[in-house]
Amino acid sequence: MESLCLSYESLYSQRERERESKKKRKKEKFPTMASNPTASPRLKPLAFIGIGVPLAVGLIFVLIMSFLWWKMKNQPEPEEHNAELPHDHQLYAPMPELPQREFHAGEAATDCPVCLEEFVEGESLVELPTCLHAFHPACIETWLTRNHASCPVCRLHIELQVDNVV
């Protein structure tokens, strides 16, 4: 029985030695920083691509966004647009004579759709011949001189005839 125990112990120790030698060979194949502090870690090229490409794309994106922000911030402010028309009527085509009438209380339309002011009894109004909408003469003239050829209310096309064209 003693020989059996010795052989079992020797077999056990032999297996332990084999395991130790396997571990040594494995460490030699793949050295780590702990086993060999002078060995530099080898990074695979795919790791550089996996890290480098997204980093480069992100950097380019940040640079482009910074440039666009800088460009928008350094743009000159837009000039104020004056809502008033120039007083030089030679810039515009001659205005046709629009049919005018007086406003009477009790009419359906009580205010000008352009300036939103109420019509006053006896005030002169321009009534468009195509749709019969009424306006202050200055309001509809302003509308028409801005190259609108339609009614400001219903957008119906207005046929205007210029009689006294020089």
Helical spans, DSSP H, in the chain: 2-29, 45-73, 137-145
pTM score: 0.40
The Cα 82–Cα 99 span in angstroms is: 29
DSSP 91: G
For residue 124, give the nearest of 138, 95, 107, 103 by alpha carbon: 103
Q: Has residue 83 got a pLDDT over 80?
A: no
Region of poorest pLDDT, from 18-22, 55-59, 65-69, 134-138 = 18-22
How do residues 59-75 score in pLDDT, each as one tens digit? 999 999 999 999 988 88
Is the pLDDT at 130 greater than 70? The verdict is yes
Annotation: CATH topology of 99-166: Herpes Virus-1 (3.30.40)
Please report, for the chain, the start and end positions of each structural domain, with discontinuous segments joined by +. 99-166
Check if the beta carbon of residue 95 is closer than 8 Å to that of residue 105: no
How much is the pLDDT for 82?
47
Query: Are 141 and 85 a contacting pair, CB within 8 Å?
Result: no
The pLDDT assigned to 24 comes to 75
7 vs 150, residue with greater confidence:
150
Question: What is the mean predicted confidence (pLDDT) over 124-138?
Answer: 87
pLDDT at 75: 80
Indicate whether 22 pLDDT > 60.
yes
Q: Which long-range contacts (CB under 8 A, 24 or more apart) does 101-107 make?
A: 101/125, 101/127, 101/134, 103/134, 107/134
